């Protein structure tokens, strides 16, 4: 089972021209699945097979540096308000690693009984991560104290992507008996089930919120016509194909751009003003979650990851492991 901030966005009109990226541009580029957003202009990218976290410039779309390496099956990445970076990993048990801005591990929690996926900091200062197989959201403090680890809420369906709104409500995309967006109060009470109209294709895997309340959701990358759908705050479908991307996973927006990760291995960048395509990034062999974060910049030549046959092998291996762990 695979899973994976706030800006005022214009609503698209029926007449506007949608950006369509040809599938051939993304073939053989690995598997990219998710995003979370924190502060900063740098994108941190987790590569599941290479066991690395890379730093990318979100404006120029160039590789900056390798932030962390030597990881075992890393999946999620997020940052807190103090600038620390958190990476979720899984071997036979789950772990959360805490890094400083220089890429040094300063704390960790290991031996978790579940595979942690997306991770983000909530407005209460705690970290929240998705336990897909356990159908729950888990909360832990930023010191990663085992005593602070608890089930924040449970749900119908397996959580994939997490997104807090300015009021502290948590929006969660769910798959496997969910296939929707579930909105929870700051105390974990289910407030509303949104986007349960079948448009999401059984496996929604990314979400981004606008300050006007609109909801951007990546439709199932395993269904025909997978795109990014746009819903109103009440869950009314506005545009089923706000952005046409092959096999979308995680979403992220910074007020200017909508970033969409594709299971074919590329990250697509769209203008939020008109939906026009604004570039493609190739992160590596099999990338999973991403986050905006403030890390030291160390520019170097753009990095292009392994492509071709390896990406197909990586995809099958990833799907097999995720299914086995659910």
**What pLDDT, on the 0 to 100 scale, is given for residue 5?**
28
What's the pLDDT tens digit per position in 197-210? Answer: 877 876 787 889 98
Q: From CA 224, how far away is CA 307, in angstroms rounded?
A: 24
- List the chain residues with pLDDT less than 70: 1-40, 63-64, 178, 202, 220-225, 283-289, 296-326
What confidence score (pLDDT) does residue 283 get?
61
Q: What is the pLDDT, as a whole number, of residue 302?
A: 35
Q: Which domains does the chain have, with CATH numbers?
A: 23-325 (2.120.10.30)
47 in Cβ contact with 285 (< 8 Å):
yes
- pLDDT of 142: 97
279 φ/ψ angles, rounded to the nearest 5 degrees: 130, 165
179-230 residue pLDDT tens: 889 999 999 999 999 988 877 876 787 889 987 889 999 876 566 557 888 9
Distances from the Cα of 67 to the Cαs of 70, 116, 152, 297, in angstroms? 11, 20, 30, 10
> Tens digit of pLDDT for each residue in 14-45?
332 333 222 222 222 234 444 443 345 888 87
Instruction: Tell me which residue has tokens 């570039």.
Output: 279
Q: Which residues contact 320 (CB under 8 A, 6 or more apart)?
A: none
At residue 309, the pLDDT reads 29
pLDDT for 305: 32
* Model pTM score: 0.78
- pLDDT, residue 201, reads 72
- The pLDDT of residue 287: 58
């Amino acid at each position: 089972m695979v899973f994976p901030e706030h800006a005022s966005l214009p609503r698209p009109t029926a007449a506007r021209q949608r950006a369509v990226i040809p599938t051939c541009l993304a073939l053989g580029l690995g598997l990219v699945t998710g995003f979370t957003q924190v502060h900063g202009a740098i994108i941190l990218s987790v590569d599941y097979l290479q066991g690395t976290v890379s730093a990318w410039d979100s404006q120029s779309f160039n590789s900056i540096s390798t932030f962390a390496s030597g990881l075992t099956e890393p999946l999620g990445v997020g940052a807190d308000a103090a600038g620390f970076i958190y990476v979720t990993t899984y071997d036979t048990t789950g772990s959360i690693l805490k890094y400083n801005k220089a890429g040094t591990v300063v704390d960790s929690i290991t031996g978790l009984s579940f595979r942690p996926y997306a991770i983000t900091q909530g407005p209460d200062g705690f970290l929240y991560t998705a336990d897909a197989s356990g159908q729950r959201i888990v909360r832990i403090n930023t010191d990663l104290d085992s005593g602070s680890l608890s089930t924040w809420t449970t749900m119908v369906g397996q959580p994939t992507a997490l997104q807090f709104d300015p009021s502290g409500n948590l929006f969660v995309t769910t798959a496997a008996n969910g296939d929707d967006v579930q909105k929870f109060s700051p105390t974990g009470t289910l407030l509303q089930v949104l986007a349960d109209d079948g448009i999401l294709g059984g496996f929604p895997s990314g979400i981004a919120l606008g300050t006007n309340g609109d909801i951007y959701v990546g439709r199932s990358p395993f269904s025909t016509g997978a795109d990014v759908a746009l819903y109103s705050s009440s869950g009314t479908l506005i545009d089923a194909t706000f952005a046409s991307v092959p096999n979308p996973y995680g979403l992220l927006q910074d007020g200017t751009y909508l970033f969409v990760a594709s299971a074919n291995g590329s990250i697509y960048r769209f203008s939020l003003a008109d939906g026009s395509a604004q570039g493609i990034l190739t992160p590596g062999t099999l990338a999973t979650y991403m986050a905006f974060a403030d890390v030291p910049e160390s520019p170097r030549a753009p990095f292009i990851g392994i492509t071709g046959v390896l990406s197909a092998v990586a995809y099958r291996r990833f799907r097999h492991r995720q299914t086995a762990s659910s």
